[in-house]
């Protein structure tokens, strides 16, 4: 026997009951309130040779994530190849530890990539983040052609809403 629901014959009350019964299946998601910038400035990165894995109580070798260390707090950044700058921030909201997707937007003066001929004034990337956990985001001058002076901004967005930003002034040393 085949069972079908003819929505045209359902009363408003039946539709309401059907919707209410389905509602608990819909995920509510995280409540995000903004970001707290806890540090900003010039950073250095290190890649550990050995990392202790607490689950196996053993050392793990190989390609590990970089650890960023603040070397000089401030918003004035020298335009020098190899310089890394950025900010550390915490996404405020609930529940703590909830995995969310945030978008980072880097705004800067016009950069011309000589290899592609492309000019750009911004870059955007989406990353996974955890509510309540400290995150580092930044930029490293890897190429001479990236060394443009002026205002640089790192912005953090969640679902299209700007949560926070940090301004930097890049200058010729």
Q: What is the pLDDT along the chain (173 residues), one digit of tens a residue?
A: 444 444 444 333 333 333 344 433 333 578 999 999 999 999 998 765 554 444 433 333 333 457 899 999 999 999 999 999 999 999 999 999 999 999 999 999 999 999 999 999 999 999 999 999 999 999 999 999 999 999 999 999 999 999 999 999 999 99
φ/ψ (deg, to 5) at 95: -80, 150
Alpha-carbon gap, residue 95 to 132, rounded angstroms: 8
| Structure-derived torsion over alpha carbons of residues 90, 105, 43, 36, reported in degrees to the nearest 10 | -20
Alpha-carbon gap, residue 147 to 144, rounded angstroms: 6
Dig out the tokens for 128 from the structure.
């996974």
Q: What does pTM read for this prediction?
A: 0.73
Dig out the tokens for 117 from the structure.
């001929």
Distance from the Cα of residue 100 to its chain's centroid: 9
Indicate the burial class of 172 (C-beta count within 10 angstroms; 0-12, 13-18, 19 or more).
Answer: exposed
Residue 48 is predicted with a pLDDT of 58
Name 170's bridge partners. 77, 150
Dig out the tokens for 102 from the structure.
């945030």
């Amino acid at each position: 026997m085949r069972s079908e629901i003819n929505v045209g014959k359902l009363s408003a009350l039946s539709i309401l009951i059907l919707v209410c019964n389905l509602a608990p299946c819909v995920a509510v998601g995280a409540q995000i309130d903004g970001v707290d910038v806890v540090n900003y400035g010039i950073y250095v990165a290190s890649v550990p040779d050995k990392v202790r894995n607490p689950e196996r109580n053993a050392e793990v070798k190989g390609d590990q994530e970089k650890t960023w260390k603040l070397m000089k707090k401030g918003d004035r950044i020298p335009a020098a190849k190899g310089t890394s700058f950025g900010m550390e921030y915490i996404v405020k909201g609930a529940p703590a530890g909830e995995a969310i997707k945030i978008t980072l937007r880097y705004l800067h003066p016009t950069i011309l990539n000589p290899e592609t001929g492309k000019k750009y004034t911004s870059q955007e990337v989406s990353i996974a983040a955890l509510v309540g956990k400290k995150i580092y985001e930044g930029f490293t001058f890897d190429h001479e052609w990236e060394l443009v002076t002026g205002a640089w901004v790192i912005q953090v967005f969640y679902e299209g809403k700007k949560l926070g930003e940090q301004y930097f002034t890049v200058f010729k040393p």
